């Protein structure tokens, strides 16, 4: 209880509350009632996503907090559902040059060093000691999700809003040591038929590495019916290759063909169907999937990957 009081006191001293900006909640609902999404300005983060299950009951199918201020204060920092930037993937040694090169360059005016971090919620996950050791090692070798204070931990501003859409704006003024300023807009929309669409648009004043994503944690059963993980969820991905990475999850420039491997989800498989075969798949001591699949076809107008649960009857599809 004492710790809880200290946290609340800290929030009050910072002028924060669970309802004031940047934790102000914007609720979007489709006219047919099929989907409701909630967002806060902190990180342009989606905090709840309610859709109907096969019984007609609404379930919140993403992870999050009852108190949204924990997006800032949670020391585990699991990065629940924000817009992640300026660079969502890992940068080896937090170092890059402009123009971009594969191999490191000697220090000079066009070589940039940004803060190192693991970016991984070590205390949040149930991990083996070997996997924790790996993540601790990563903490001194990479920059992930844009640095110590990436876009997920920045205050965005609402520039437009309707009952079914909201647009947030963020100015990255060379934050974390990246070159140049970036102006970014993230627009979230819901529509009939249970559709959620997020678009991110950004412009830069200088050449810079940039990779943006919406970092969503899914559980289509909403931790109901005695289901506490997604290993029973079905997954299908229109992809015959994944990007190969080294021991610290940096892309090597090569591809891995999925045929005959646990990566092969071209035909529907349960995520946990080959779980025992994923040991060391995502690095020494790491079990699970932490890779990028490359679509075989243009998926801009169709569903390139699908995730669904027999328990809830909820299906997610992404183009």
Could you report the per-residue pLDDT of 88-102, keeping only the tens digit for each? 999 999 999 999 998
Cβ partners under 8 Å of residue 81, min gap 6: 45, 46, 47, 62, 63, 64, 214, 215, 216, 217
Torsion, Cα of 69, 73, 79, 80 (10° steps): -30
| d(C-alpha 291, C-alpha 241), whole Å | 10
What pLDDT sits at residue 122? 42
| d(C-alpha 11, C-alpha 146), whole Å | 25
For tokens 């996997």, name the residue: 131
Q: What is the pTM of this model?
A: 0.89
What pLDDT sits at residue 248? 86
Cβ partners under 8 Å of residue 202, min gap 6: 85, 182, 183, 184, 185, 210, 212
* 279, β-bridge pairs: 287
* 198, β-bridge pairs: 188
Cβ partners under 8 Å of residue 274, min gap 6: 262
Could you report the per-residue pLDDT of 140-164, keeping only the tens digit for each? 799 999 999 999 999 999 999 999 9
Q: Is 305 helix (H, G, I), strand (E, B) or coil?
A: strand
Q: Which two tokens stand for residue 228?
A: 């506490």
| d(C-alpha 211, C-alpha 158), whole Å | 22
What pLDDT sits at residue 6? 28
Are 275 and 231 spatial neighbours (Cβ–Cβ below 8 Å)? yes
| d(C-alpha 22, C-alpha 157), whole Å | 8
| d(C-alpha 145, C-alpha 138), whole Å | 13
Cβ partners under 8 Å of residue 66, min gap 6: none
| d(C-alpha 41, C-alpha 89), whole Å | 23
What pLDDT sits at residue 65? 97
215: Cα within 13 Å, side-chain hemisphere: 27
What is the C-alpha R_g of the chain? 20
Q: Is 134 helix (H, G, I), strand (E, B) or coil?
A: helix
What pLDDT sits at residue 222? 98
| d(C-alpha 126, C-alpha 144), whole Å | 20
pLDDT of the chain, 319 residues: tens digit per residue: 222 222 233 343 345 566 799 999 999 999 999 999 999 999 999 999 999 999 999 999 999 999 999 999 999 899 999 999 999 999 999 999 999 998 889 999 999 999 998 655 444 344 445 555 555 556 679 999 999 999 999 999 999 999 999 999 999 999 999 999 999 999 999 999 999 999 999 999 999 999 999 999 999 999 999 999 999 999 999 999 999 998 888 999 999 999 999 999 999 999 999 999 999 888 888 899 999 999 999 988 889 999 999 999 999 998 7
Closest to 32 in 3D by CA, of 194, 208, 154: 194
């Amino acid at each position: 209880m004492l710790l809880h009081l200290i946290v609340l006191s800290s929030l009050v001293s910072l002028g924060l509350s669970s309802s004031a900006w940047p934790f102000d909640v914007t609720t979007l609902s489709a006219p047919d009632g099929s989907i409701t999404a909630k967002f806060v300005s902190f990180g342009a983060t989606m905090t709840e996503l309610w859709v109907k299950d096969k019984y007609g009951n609404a379930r919140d199918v993403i992870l999050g907090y009852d108190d949204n201020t924990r997006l800032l204060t949670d020391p585990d920092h699991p990065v629940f559902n924000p817009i992640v930037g300026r660079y969502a993937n890992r940068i080896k040694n937090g170092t890059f040059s402009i123009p971009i090169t594969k191999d490191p360059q000697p220090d000079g005016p066009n070589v940039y060093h940004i803060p190192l971090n693991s970016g991984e919620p070590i205390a949040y996950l149930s991990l083996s000691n070997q996997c924790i050791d790996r993540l601790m090692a990563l903490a001194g070798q990479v920059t992930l999700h844009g640095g110590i204070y990436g876009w997920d931990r920045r205050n965005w501003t609402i520039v437009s809003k309707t009952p079914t859409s909201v647009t947030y704006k963020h100015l990255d003024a060379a934050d974390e040591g990246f070159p140049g300023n970036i102006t970014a807009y993230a627009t979230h929309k819901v529509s009939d038929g249970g559709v959620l669409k997020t678009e991110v648009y950004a412009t830069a004043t200088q050449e810079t590495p940039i990779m943006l994503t919406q970092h969503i944690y899914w559980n289509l059963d909403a931790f109901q019916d005695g289901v506490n993980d997604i290993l029973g969820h079905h997954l299908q991905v229109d992809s015959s290759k994944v990007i190969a990475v080294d021991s610290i999850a940096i892309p090597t420039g090569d591809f891995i063909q999925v045929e005959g491997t646990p990566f092969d989800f071209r035909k529907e498989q349960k995520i946990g169907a080959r779980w025992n075969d994923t040991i060391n798949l995502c690095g020494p001591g790491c079990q699970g999937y932490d890779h990028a699949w490359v679509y075989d076809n243009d998926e801009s107008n169709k569903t390139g990957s699908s995730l669904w649960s027999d328990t809830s009857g909820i299906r997610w599809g992404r183009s």
